[in-house]
Amino acid sequence: MVTELLAPHLKQYLESLVPARPPEMQAMEAYAREVRFPIIGPAAGQFCYLLARIVGARRVFEMGSGFGYSTAWFARAVQENGGGTVSHVVWDEGLSRRARVHLAALGFDEIIQYHVGEAVETLRRADGRFDLIFNDIDKEGYPDSLPVIAEKLRPGGILIVDNMFWQGRVFVSTDRSPATQGVRELTRMITSDPRWIPSVVPIRDGLLVASRV
């Protein structure tokens, strides 16, 4: 069972409430539709931007940043919070190059730090703690990423994890694939740990939002 979980009219309604994006971000959305690249989309992007503004994020770390669409939402928030850094991390050099072009066009050159490599290890080596961490790595890696995230996120900081519904796979009891099990295990770990205050928000494919106690 792999399906769109939100009814089309609900998805369209939520996206219609998002303020108009700059032309460069609209071009990124069009490219994602054309090549079927899984970006978070405008409704989830606006929500991530809101959370970053609420927490006053000045240091954001993205684990699995794609070609920079989600990065743009976080960079806008950091810029409006007074400046800081957003770490863009991907395995693929081509995605990193494409992100640099888009994010430079959006005026975020001084905010973004680009890394090409494995996201958990890059986070482990990063200096200091972060105000917000966004996790969208390969799903089988979700459980092992959580201890590193807990160490690198400041108290009161926000963790956002994408694909908590995994396109409906988490609801299929017979699906025991490593990716689906990874999503389930991370959900169990974080919802049973008193060091986190979590909630799963049914936007797009499900966003887990958790505050570090």
Question: Is-above-0.85 flag for pTM?
Answer: yes
State the residue for tokens 């995605």.
95
Q: H-helix or E-strand containing 156?
A: strand 153-161
**Nearest Cα to 134, choosing from 37, 202, 68, 36?**
68
> Which pLDDT belongs to residue 3?
55
Section 102-126 average pLDDT: 96
Element (H, E) at 79: helix 69-80
pLDDT for residue 108 is more than 50? yes
How many Cα atoms sit within 13 Å of 103 on the Cβ side?
A: 30
Measured in degrees and rounded to the nearest 5, phi and psi for residue 188 equal -65, -45
Q: CA 197, CA 12: separation in Å to the nearest integer?
A: 30
Residues 6+ apart with CB under 8 A from 187: 164, 170, 200, 208
Residues 6+ apart with CB under 8 A from 150: 195, 212
- Token pair of 25 as six digits: 């971000």
User: What pLDDT score does 1 carry?
Assistant: 44
Dihedral sign for Cα 179, 6, 42, 77, please.
negative
CA 122 to chain CA mean position, Å: 16
| pLDDT tens string 190-206 | 999 999 999 999 999 99
Q: State whether residue 197 is helix, strand or coil.
A: strand
What would the pLDDT profile of 128-142 be if each residue is shown by its tens digit? 999 999 999 999 999
Q: What is the CATH number of domain 8-212?
A: 3.40.50.150
Say which residue the tokens 């799963």 belong to.
200
Domain boundaries, the chain: 8-212
pLDDT of 149-163, one tens digit each? 999 999 999 999 999
User: DSSP letter at 55?
Assistant: T
